[in-house]
Structure 1
Amino acid sequence: MKLIDYMKINKVGLTNNIIIFIITNCIVYTSSTINKAFKDIVYMDILILLIEFITFTYGFIKEKNKYSNILKFNEGLANKTNDFHLNIVSNILEKQSLEYLKKEESLKNNINDFEDYITKWVHDIKMNISIVDLLLEDLEEDESQKIISEMKQMEFSVNQVLYVTRANNYNLDVKSEQVAVGDEIRKAIKMNAIFFINKNIEIILEAEGFNIISDRKWIHYIFSQIINNSSKYTNENGQLHILSKEDSKAYYLHIKDNGIGIPKEDINRIFNKGFTGKNGRTRTKSTGIGLYYAKKMCNNLNIDLKVESREGEYTEFILSFYKLADYYNVTPMSH
């Protein structure tokens, strides 16, 4: 408690004492019966003021100590209350954190177990496909060609399952290495060659060799998805043109077919998960998954993937590999 606060609280008593002091002095000075020795009156005033000062000081100190004890008690109580609340909140958060960690660990294990199962299943199926391919060699060419084509499509779909499983793996890490884009394009064409041969589609490859820092298996997956998509929507005797360009900012890979094109109302949605569009529903058994994951992996690898198309004329996919993108710009899979 401050002195001014104590004076405000006791202002009535102080005012009363001052009035009594003034009245007493007035009576002494005006009374004719009292011997008005100046020294005696001054002595009396000093004595009265001294007693008043001692009484005032004692009262102030007593009140100050009382309020200080009350404040200390309140502060201590508040601190204890705050500590109690903090301990409760801390215990709740710690408990929730442990529960979430357990759930997260369980989720990781389930996802990884599922990936292990799918990986084994894919390898088993691919083994069966390889055996069927060998058996088909003994059949007449005309009879086996359609079966081979279907088997290759099955193999492509099986590989797609494997890649999709990896893309959703909880612990997926992207491996950065030097990738020759021309080599991966040729591998993707070879993987889809049977589909182009069956439809007599001409492939014009004018992609000059350039290297990028990226993940080889995902670059191959992206190219394969786009090229396979072109094989589905290009008519017989059509053409697929692959060329590369370069400027100061990036390398560009253009994959253009003269197929049926994409309707204007669908073009902004072809990278959406599960979107098949009008062409996917009428011409092929499209799942709407391949291009979705191709775009997803492009985003994770800092590759820009765009599409341009005119219905009935062409579809062109454009991949931009920016020269500033290096090892540190390759990001891990987002969940």
Structure 2
Amino acid sequence: MNIKDYFKDIQISIILRLLFIMFLIYILNLLQVDKITIYFILILWIILNSIEFIYDYIKRANYYREVLNILEGLDKKYLLPVLIQRPKFIDGKMLYDVLSITDKSMNEEVNKYVFSQEEYKEYIEMWVHEIKTPISSSKLVIENNKNEQTLSILEEIEKIENFIEQVLYYSKSNELEKDYIIRKTSLRKCINNVIKRNKKIIRENKISIEIDDFESLIYCDSKWLEFILNQIIINSIKYIGNYKTNRKLEKIGGKIKIYIKENINNIELYINDNGVGIDEKDLHKVFEKGFTGTNGRKFKKSTGMGLYISKKLCSKMYLGIDINSKINEYTTVKITFPQNNMTEV
């Protein structure tokens, strides 16, 4: 609180007091009161008013300085009304009471919103688990009645299954810590599980998989990691494309190469494909929610959610994820794992 601003704020009060003392001195002169008495009254008036203004300024300045210090130290600024004390001056009390009422009202509205979101999340999770039953039944029927038409239906059902999985993981991504267990995990085993899961579509698209020989152990939750790897592998398969969308496949077949690089503090996993690549202007946006870019519009198969959820989950698990790409040549996704369960990358 600046002293100049303070006196500017009370200037009307000062002017009125000056007018009062001037009028009082004028009356005392008319009454022919001794000059010494008048001087005494004037000096006393100046002293008392100065004490009042200085005390009031110090009281307010100290309070607002404390409030600003608390505010600067807070990460969550909305907690300010809870932490400050009720002041002793009247306008400060009114402001404090107003802030307390608005804070209470805001908390009530936030709680309503949180409850609504939680209710919606629970419904989504229940729906995801319920929808798995008819999907599994449909797959079983197809398995027992294999022909060209049913296998085509199976392919579409598997796409639906992937989208449903995205919904489930997205709904859980804000509260990952409730369903996340860090333990030593075989990176190779997670990769093999994802490749096995997608072996049908990999075979149909005649894509070769090349995996370096490694047996690295990482600290992670295998379930969440396999979801992330699955999104990346699906994208690689999708954007390797076919002879119409990827001309170089006429000379060399589609290929996904998986390898690692071990450093002192981390392990880097690389997933490289020889697909259509990503336009340079789209590269920094690929992790944005709903972003499909040039390839998404070209292939018309993208929701823009897979990489967004993967990035979100990696951030929650303290994993790094980056993409490097060159249009019409390659795309490489790098996932960085800490060498221990306490390191953030």
Per the normalisation by structure 1, the TM-score is 0.71
Is this contact kept in 1: 2:182–2:341, CA < 8 A? no
Question: For residue 260 of structure 1, what is the aligned residue in structure 2?
Answer: 276
* Structure 1 counterpart of 2:108, one-letter code: K
Per the TM alignment, residue 66 of structure 1 is displaced from its structure 2 partner at its CA by 5.6
Counterparts of 1:1-335 in structure 2, within 5 Å, are 67-71=46-50, 83-167=89-173, 169=174, 171-173=175-177, 175-178=180-183, 179-206=185-212, 208-235=214-241, 237-323=253-339, 326-327=341-342, 329=344
Tell me how far apart the structure 1 counterparts of residues 343 and 110 of structure 2 sit (CA, whole Å).
27
Deviations 1:89-130 (A, max 9, x none): 111111121122112211211111111111111111111100
- For the residues of structure 2 that align with 1:257 and 1:74, how far apart are their CA atoms? 75
CA separation in 2, counterparts of 1:235 and 1:147?
Answer: 20
> Compared with structure 1, are the counterparts of its residues 283 and 61 closer, same or farther at alpha carbon in structure 2 (3 Å cutoff)?
closer
Whole-Å separation in 1 of the counterparts to 2:320 and 2:189 = 20
1:9 is matched with which residue? none
CA deviation after TM superposition for structure 1 residue 322, in Å? 3.5
Unaligned residue ranges in structure 2 (runs of 5+): 1-33, 61-86, 243-252
- C-alpha root-mean-square deviation of aligned residues, in Å? 3.1
SS at match of 1:85: helix
Q: CA deviation at 1:73?
A: 5.5
SS of equivalent to 1:269: coil
TM-score (norm 2): 0.69
Which segments of structure 1 move beyond 4 Å, counting only runs of 4 or more? 55-82
C-alpha contact (below 8 Å) 1:275/1:287 kept by paired residues: yes
Q: Tell me the CA shift for residue 302 of structure 1.
A: 2.8
Overall identity of the aligned pairs, in %? 28
Larger Rg: 1
Could you list the per-position Cα deviations for residues 35-73 of structure 1 after superposition, in whole angstroms to 9, with x for gaps in the alignment? Answer: xxxxxxxxxxxxxxxxxxxx9999988776565545556
Q: CA deviation at 1:250?
A: 2.0
User: In the aligned structure 2, how far is the partner of 1:288 from the partner of 1:262?
Assistant: 14
1:45 corresponds to which residue?
A: none
Corresponding letter in the other structure for 2:199: A
Check 1:318–1:162 CA distance in 2 against 1; reply closer, same or farther (3 A cut): same
Q: Which amino acid aligns with 2:167?
A: V
Q: Give distance in 1, aligned partners of 2:268 and 2:51.
A: 73
User: 1:23 maps to what in 2?
Assistant: none
State the number of aligned residues: 273
